[in-house]
Chains A and B, each alone.
Chain A
Amino acid sequence: MTKYYDIDDIITEEETVSVIFQKAASGVGIDPSAEIDFIEAGSKVELPFWLAHELQLRQAVSVNVPPCFNQKTRLEIQADSASVDLRSRCPFFYEFGCKIAPIVADRTIGFLLFSAFKSRYKEVLTKAHTATFTAGSKFWTILTKEEINLYETAQSAMASFKKWRMGGARFQVASILRRKRKSTE
C-alpha cells in the first residue's frame, strides 16, 4: 500500500507477461486474436502484469516467464554483465524481476537478479565518478531506471563534495526555471 502513488511502481506493473487462461472469461476484449469477447480456457494471451498477477492469485491463469529473463539474456549477463542493454529489455529489470519471481515456477530468477546487479553496480559507480559527460550519456542508455538513479546519485555526491571544498554561490535560480532562461537569452 505504501507504493500506491509510486509512478515507477505503476509503470513496472504495466510490463506485459504471457499467460495461459485456466478458466474461461466472458465479456472482455483483452485477447486481440479472438473475434468475440470471450476467452476460452487454455488460450494464450499477453496481459499486463497487474492483471496477470491478480488473476493468478485466483487461479484463473498460469503465468509464463517473460522474455526479458530468458536463456539468451542469462547467457549475456554471464558473459559480460556490464555491457548488456537491460533498458531495452525492461527499464525496471530488477523491480519487475522481484515481482515476477514469486508467481512463476522458475526458482533461478532471484539469483539472476542478484548476480546481475552485483556485477553491474561496480561498473556504474566507477563510470559515474570517472566518465566525462558525453561518454557517460552514451553509457547510460543501457542502464535500467534503478541504475540511472544510482548513477545520478553518485555524480551529485561528487559534485556536492567538490562544491563543499571549493565553495560557491548559495542562491540559485529554482531548478524548474533554469532551462527556460537559457533558451530565451
Chain B
Amino acid sequence: MYGRKGCQLLKELSSAEKGHLPQFNSDLFEQVFAECSQHHLELQSLIRKMQEEGLDVQTAKNADHHGALIHHLALVRNKRCLMAYVYNRADNVRSLLWKIGHVLPKEIEEKLSHSEEVYFKKHSARLKSYMSSLQVDLTVDMVPPKDPYIKIRVLDDIGEGIVLSDDKTANFARHSIHFLKRTDAEQFISRGLMEELTG
C-alpha cells in the first residue's frame, strides 16, 4: 500500500521510549525516498498520456485523472512523513543540548545521522556564542541554589587534572567524595558521572 513505509518510519520514532532517540533509519528513509520518485514518474506518464489523447489536463476527469490524483496524494503524503521524521528528530537533537550539554556521549552520537551531528555542533556553537555575548550561562539549573557548594560522589572514573572554575585541578577517582561549586558539578551530574549527596 502506498505510504506505508513512510508511516513505519514515524511509528518507529513514536514507539521509542519517551525522551529516547532511536537510531536514524537511513535504509527505510531511502526507500520512502525511492517511492516518491516512483510516484513522480508514474504521475508524469499519466499526464503525458492525457496530453497525447488531446485532453485538457486541468478539466478532464477520466480514469487517468484519478490515477494521477492518487499518485499525487501519495507523493504529498510521503513528503509529509519524511518532513515530520526529520523535524521531530531535529527537535530531539536540540533538546539533547539542553539536557546533556555540549558534548554527547558516544552511544548517543552513534544514533544520529551525519547531518544531524553537524546540526548539533552548529547549534551548540551558536548557543555558546550567544551566551558569551550575553555573558550568562543559560544551561545551568533554573532554580537559584540555597548554597553555591554541593557535596557529590563520583560514579565513574572521570580522570585527573580537570580544571575547575577557580583554576584548581581535581582528581575525580571513582567513588571519591568532593565538595564542589554547583556550577562545576552540574554538567557531570547530567551526564551521569556524578551524583549529588543530600542530607
**Residues of A with Cβ closer than 8 Å to B?**
4-8, 10-11, 14, 23-28, 30, 38-39, 47-48, 50-51, 54-55, 58, 60, 168-181
Whether A11 and B71, one on each chain, are in contact in the complex, defined by CB atoms closer than 8 angstroms, is: no
Using CB atoms, name the residue of chain B closest to A185: B155
Using CB atoms, name the residue of chain A closest to B43: A27
Among candidates A24, A54, A174, residue contacting B63 with C-beta atoms closer than 8 Å: A24
- Additional A-B contact list (6), CB under 8 Å, known A6-B84, A178-B192: A14-B3, A27-B71, A28-B71, A171-B185, A174-B191, A181-B192
C-alpha spacing A97/B88, complex, angstroms: 25
**Residues of B with Cβ closer than 8 Å to A?**
1-4, 7, 10-11, 13-14, 17-21, 42, 45-46, 61-64, 66-71, 73-74, 77, 80-81, 83-84, 87-88, 96, 99-100, 105, 107-108, 141, 143, 145, 185-186, 189-192, 196, 198
Among candidates A7, A51, A58, residue contacting B74 with C-beta atoms closer than 8 Å: A51
A59 smallest CB distance to B (angstroms): 9
Q: Name the residue in A24, A26, A168, A175 with the highest tally of chain B Cβ atoms < 10 Å from its Cβ.
A: A26
Whether A30 and B190, one on each chain, are in contact in the complex, defined by CB atoms closer than 8 angstroms, is: no
Residues of A within 8 A of B191 (CB): 173-174, 177
Whether B19 and A11, one on each chain, are in contact in the complex, defined by CB atoms closer than 8 angstroms, is: no
Residues of B within 8 A of A7 (CB): 10, 13-14, 84, 88
Using CB atoms, name the residue of chain B closest to A40: B63
Whether B67 and A26, one on each chain, are in contact in the complex, defined by CB atoms closer than 8 angstroms, is: yes
Whether B143 and A176, one on each chain, are in contact in the complex, defined by CB atoms closer than 8 angstroms, is: no
C-alpha spacing A174/B3, complex, angstroms: 35
Residues of A within 8 A of B196 (CB): 169-171
C-alpha spacing A65/B75, complex, angstroms: 26
Whether A25 and B190, one on each chain, are in contact in the complex, defined by CB atoms closer than 8 angstroms, is: no
Whether A176 and B19, one on each chain, are in contact in the complex, defined by CB atoms closer than 8 angstroms, is: yes
Whether A30 and B84, one on each chain, are in contact in the complex, defined by CB atoms closer than 8 angstroms, is: no
Using CB atoms, name the residue of chain A closest to B66: A25
Among candidates B68, B70, B107, B143, residue contacting A180 with C-beta atoms closer than 8 Å: B107
Among candidates A24, A30, A170, A174, residue contacting B2 with C-beta atoms closer than 8 Å: A30
Residues of B within 8 A of A168 (CB): 198
Whether A60 and B69, one on each chain, are in contact in the complex, defined by CB atoms closer than 8 angstroms, is: yes
A10 smallest CB distance to B (angstroms): 6
Residues of B within 8 A of A10 (CB): 7, 10, 80-81, 84
Known: A180-B107, A181-B192. A51 touches B2 (CB 8 A): yes
A151 smallest CB distance to B (angstroms): 13
Whether A170 and B141, one on each chain, are in contact in the complex, defined by CB atoms closer than 8 angstroms, is: yes
